[in-house]
Chains A and B, each alone.
With several copies, the nearest count.
Chain A
Amino acid sequence: MTVSVHELELDLDAFQGPFDLLLSLVLREELPLREIDLAEVVIAFVEHLDRKGELDLDACGEFLVLISALLELKARAMFPDEDAELAELEPEEAAEELARRLAEYRRAKEAAQFLRKRIEERRTFFFRLGPAPLAPKVERSLAPQEPEKLAAALRVLAIEPPAPSLAHMALRFPPVSQFLERWRSLLRRRSRFDFDQEVEGLSRVEIAVAFLALLELRKQDEIAIAQAAPFAPIRISRADAERSLSWTVRSA
């Protein structure tokens, strides 16, 4: 049993102490992994190996296992509630997305550091928040108004309220099964379709039920649902059809 990994001493921005302690703090979720610069840990290990002057293969192996576990944990932490989203991306896309987010988060941290420094520098600067005690009062003025607006406003108040509507009592829900059948037969003929196109002209309730049917099919893994951006057309494709490259809506 080698001791090299355990005796690795770290001196990072967010942590100072033995690698062991870092591991246990992370696992007990007492130290957010996103605060830890893992590249620094790797460098520390390489320098540590160098100081020892001999290549300890056991130590290297153990370190590789531990550091890759940490890297994976950190990667997952970048997608807290979006594991599904990440999982549905192609591996290269997922890697790219992950790198992009890491870079963005790193930039945010650097910017935060700059701001922290600024507060420190300006600690001795006081300024007034809000108006001066004896500032002149702000006058609110109103542009000239059409007198007809007054008559119109009064007429609005004289509009009889509509008789209570009973229309909602007659709301009829088409059965979900009707749409399940419709979507299945459509997908037997075509590998994909645009939801919005297919439900054009239907009532709001019908569209809602049609969408419920989609979710049901998705749950049963019969279809894939994709949308390029919020409010973009919703694209439906057979689950076995080739996967779309665009972002995939999960469970909705």
Chain B
Amino acid sequence: MDRPLRLIPTETTQSAELARTLEALLVVASQPLSLEELQSACEADAEEIGDALELLWKRYAEGSSGIVLEHVAGGFAFRASADAAEACARLFERPAEKGLSQAALETVAIVAYLGPVSRPEIARIRGVNVDGVVAGLVERGLIAEGGRDNEFGAIRYRTTPLFERVFGLESLASLPRVDDLGADVGEIRERLEAVAEKRTA
């Protein structure tokens, strides 16, 4: 290194050290790690973790490394850079999302928006039996059992952290609002009015 020597404030070296610990945690974790998990594993406060994450955020940005840090499913996690997608595709399958049918997407959407919901409730909305689809989604790890309607009632399902990860959501709260038919009705009315106007004109 031919950069001039300068005094490095302690704070920065602390952050750098903490950043190394975070790297270590993130590279072995099997799920995104929340701020709280990082804090208690490092025995550091939120601000310290925040500063260290800041460093990692730059180091592992898309384009600067093969490893990319992302904020997803309520936590932080490493993923492969998009540049390496082809190489990754040669080596790894995507068992969670590969070949998801329209029925499966609709079902997992219902669970994400209305969950926890039971199979009968999903069937009622989709208008068909959903037993097979639900079992498939459980197998993929996108939804999981989460309690019962009541003590002896139907099993209810909710989406998993993997669901949020696969679909790149920071949390379920970041699902877009799916509004009532409001927008559609408005659009239909507008188009009909346009026709009517032309006729009377």
Contact = CB atoms under 8 A, between A and B. Distances in A.
B176 A147 contact: yes
A80 B128 contact: yes
Given A108-B125, A230-B149, A126 B28 contact: yes
Interface residues of A, number: 69
A133 B89 contact: no
A108 B109 contact: yes
Contacts of A112: 102, 105-106, 108-109
Interface in B70-100: 70, 72, 74, 77-80, 82, 84-85, 88-89, 92-100
19 contacts: A101-B125, A105-B125, A111-B178, A112-B109, A119-B97, A122-B167, A126-B79, A129-B95, A133-B30, A134-B70, A136-B88, A138-B92, A142-B142, A145-B99, A153-B105, A153-B106, A157-B192, A157-B195, A230-B149
B192 to A, nearest CB: 5
Contacts of B140: 140, 142
Interface of B: 24, 27-32, 70, 72, 74, 77-80, 82, 84-85, 88-89, 92-100, 102, 105-106, 108-110, 112-113, 124-128, 139-142, 149-150, 152-153, 162, 165-169, 174-181, 184, 188, 191-192, 195-196, 198-199
B127 A77 contact: yes
A138 B94 CA distance: 7
**Which of A127, A134, A142, A230 has the most C-beta atoms of chain B within 10 angstroms of its own C-beta?**
A127
Contacts of B93: 139, 141
A125 interface: yes
A250 to B, nearest CB: 15
A34 B29 CA distance: 42
Q: Which 7 A-B pairs have the closest CB atoms?
A: A111-B109, A124-B85, A134-B79, A112-B105, A126-B88, A124-B82, A127-B79
Contacts of B85: 123-126, 136
Nearest to B24: A126
A78 interface: yes
B168 A125 contact: yes
Interface of A: 34, 39, 43, 46-47, 50, 77-80, 101-112, 114-116, 118-119, 121-151, 153-161, 230-231
Contacts of A153: 102, 105-106, 108-109
A39 B188 CA distance: 8
Given A80-B127, A116-B105, A121-B168, A50 B96 contact: no
Contacts of A116: 105
Given A47-B195, A115-B167, A140 B97 contact: yes
A114 B192 contact: no
A103 B181 contact: yes
B166 A144 contact: yes
Contacts of A145: 99-100, 166-168
B178 A110 contact: yes
Nearest to A157: B192
